[in-house]
Amino acid sequence: MSNIYIILGIIFSVSLFLYSVISFGKIIKEIASQKIKTLLSSLTSNQTKGLVLGTVSTVVLQSGTAVSVLVANLADAGLISFYNTLGIIFGLNIGASITSQLIAFNFMSVSPFIILLGLIVWWWGGRFKKYGQSIFYFGLLFFSIYLISLFFSYTDKEILGNYLSIISNPAIAVLIGILAAIVFQSSSVVSGIVLVLVGSGHIDLVQSVGLILGANIGTTSTVMIVSFTMLGKEAKKVALSHFLFNFIGVLLILPFIGYFYNAVEYLGGNITNKVANIYLIFNIVCAVIFMILIKPFYKFVNSIIK
């Protein structure tokens, strides 16, 4: 296969992936957004419940960005206090890493059957018809990842490896991960591509972890931008807390990243499983640390936006 066809195939596959993520999130929001809003706004002071809801909401919507923007809107409308949003914010990244786990366990192999099921329900589902589109786009999401991996398998590893050698520096890898998440407006898209690259041998464990950690930071750009359009300070606090949580989390964990590598070696699995496990463990550890320090973190954010 010629290089031009490979490049066009990768561009098409990534575009399809992005389209699937956006369409799936849009359909789910139409079906369940009000229920999610009600759940989120009904929180009182139970941060553990918020953590779980943040995780589940991100898995359902397949977008931590969508959930953070939703939470910012609720805070701006006075339906939930800034303090009660923190548990939700801490759960977003855990939810985002669940998608990576599905990719690592080769969920793509059943994606054609999910697409078929979605079409059947969409066309002949009767009162369940409204769920057909969401099932279809969910399957299409993972099928597009399969296409990305297929086209990358045709690339010359040596040539592509030379281009990707720049991310051998962890700091540069994090920076590129940030920029990629800002461009795609989704850490799920970036982590999906990273898992494909590491699974096909184009990048190694260290490079992939740097890119994913950077994507964690970059994905906060949307809610930061959206918060500037809101008049209230609560929404801006939500956006700032989301950014600081991800940014400080990366800074805190990076010096100890070697322990994470040792942990995933102990758990075993192929290279894709190891990257997905590091992503999940990293987000769980960060969430636990910030849940313990939630009150000092709350005061810190309030001291910046008074």
pLDDT for residue 257:
77
Give me the residue spans of the domains in the chain: 3-304
Q: What predicted TM-score, i.e. pTM, was given to this entire model?
A: 0.78
pLDDT in tens, the chain (306 residues): 566 777 788 788 878 877 887 777 677 767 665 666 666 666 556 778 888 888 887 777 666 777 777 787 777 777 778 888 888 888 888 888 887 787 777 777 787 888 888 888 888 777 777 778 878 888 887 788 778 777 776 666 555 555 565 667 777 888 888 888 887 767 777 888 888 888 877 777 888 888 888 888 888 887 777 777 766 788 888 888 989 998 998 888 888 777 777 777 777 778 888 888 888 888 898 899 999 988 999 999 888 877
| DSSP summary character for residue 286 | H
CA R_g for the chain: 19
107 token code pair? 């969920």
CA distance 91 to 86: 9
| Burial class of residue 137 in the structure, from the number of CB atoms within 10 Å of its CB (0-12 exposed, 13-18 middle, 19+ buried) | buried
CB neighbours (10 Å) of residue 153?
15
CA distance 186 to 219: 6
pLDDT for residue 166:
61
Q: Where are the alpha helices (DSSP H) in the chain?
A: 3-41, 47-61, 64-76, 82-104, 111-124, 132-152, 157-164, 170-184, 187-199, 205-218, 221-227, 233-253, 257-267, 271-292, 294-304
- Residues near 258 by beta carbon (within 8 Å), at least 6 away in sequence: none
CA distance 306 to 292: 23
Angle of CA points 295, 296, 297, to nearest 5°? 90
pLDDT for residue 156:
61
